[in-house]
Amino acid sequence: EPPSHVIFIMATTERHKVPATILSRCQQFIFRTIPAAEIHGHLRQIADREGVKIDDRALGYIVKAAEGSMRDAQSLLDQIISFSGQEVAGEDVRDVLGFIPSEILDRTLDALAERDSKTLLGIVGIVVDQGFNLQQYVREFIGKVRDLLVSRLDLQEKILGDAGEKRALAARAGRFSEQDLIRFFDMLLRLENELRWTSQPRFHLEVGLVKLAKVGHVRDIEDVLREIRGSGEQSPQRSVPAAKPEERLPAAPVAAEPPGTFTFADIFIRRVEDRSATTAVHLQRAERIERGENHVEVVIANGTPLAMLQSKEHKAVLDAVASELIGKAVSVSLIMKEQQPKAELAGGNAKDEPLVKRFLEVFRGDIAQIKPAKGEQQ
């Protein structure tokens, strides 16, 4: 045993690799990032105690740059005070730390909402002319999109900013669906990574933003499902008169989607993908997915994905999604598409050949048998 006046300190970022017998004999101090609100409040106390006038916007920039580290935040505050003196403005902090003006980011969002490619190209020109780093611009815009998504989810407490900024953010968030923002986020992450390696970052950024503007806005799938279910409830009122009850069968396509929205097959595949990516991979081999009154029919031409989907695990996923979409317990019918024999297909194709037609006409004969060429499978 070590003497009482000796204390061993071990610092590691891989605590999970330390044997349990050692961990059980140690006091553990786990370092975590500090919440932004806590850093903001502590910096405000320091500024007030030192008699420094600094607005919340400036503190917000410092907190953002610190990324959860109180030490870094205090160091940045000290540097900013040395640079600006006893009165610190948000613009000074933004320029020192290299942040993009929020007005430029807001204009980018507005242009995306309007699908205005011309304005987006103009904004890229402004960013370049003012000497901002293009990667930094994309990184901050990704953060803006994240804040919009958080606002859409009614989690304003997770957004750093004053009440006015949060209200403005909520107003802009209403112009995009959650699917739009998720898609923007994914595309911007790829764009930010690609900018590191391209020899023409400006052109790459311009094309990337135009792509964002051109891809159509995606409707919320829950809204589409509500419309489908709503049309299903109203369908009996649109059936033919009682004098011809046998003509009620055409009322089956009650779930016909409004023009320009997803088909039932699209929605079905997306919902399956949310539950099981593996099941969705096999389901995408289907040639047809149709909704009936009490079942969903999936027609597949290939036996391999059909066999996989018939397994207990995948079939349970399909039945669960079908029941969720239709609104009651239903079963998915997995059907193998009937395929015409290869000999028949080959015979039909051969008879259509001009040379073969001429040969049969001259000799007044017919095709008795077709043999595959060398190397060709029967």
pLDDT of residue 347: 54
| Interior angle at CA 76, CA 74 and CA 77, nearest 5 | 65
Question: What is the C-alpha to C-alpha distance for residues 249 and 235, in angstroms, rounded to an integer?
Answer: 12
CATH class label, 102-214: mainly alpha
The CATH number of 1-99, from 3.40.50.920, 3.40.50.720, 1.20.58.100, 1.10.8.60, is 1.10.8.60
> pLDDT, tens digit, for every residue of 15-69?
889 898 988 888 888 888 888 888 989 999 999 998 989 888 888 889 888 888 8
Q: Where do you find CATH 1.20.272.10 in the chain?
A: 102-214
Query: Count of CB atoms within 10 A of residue 339's CB?
Result: 10
> pLDDT, tens digit, for every residue of 130-168?
888 899 899 989 988 888 888 888 777 777 766 777 788
Q: Where do you find CATH 3.30.300.180 in the chain?
A: 224-234+253-336
The token duo for 72 is: 């870094």
Q: What is the reported pTM?
A: 0.51
What is the average pLDDT value for the chain, to the nearest integer? Answer: 79
Reference 292, options 261, 262, 322; nearest CA is: 322
Phi and psi at residue 53, to the nearest 5°: -90, 115
Residue owning tokens 């990324």: 67
Torsion (CA) 16, 21, 23, 27 in degrees, nearest 10: 180
Phi and psi at residue 193, to the nearest 5°: -70, -40
For helices 342-351 and 354-363, the axis angle rounded to 10 degrees is 80
Q: Which residues of 178-191 are buried (b: 16+ CB within 10 A; e: fewer)?
A: bebbebbeebbeeb
The CATH number of 224-234+253-336, from 2.70.170.10, 3.30.300.180, 3.40.50.1580, 3.40.50.300, is 3.30.300.180
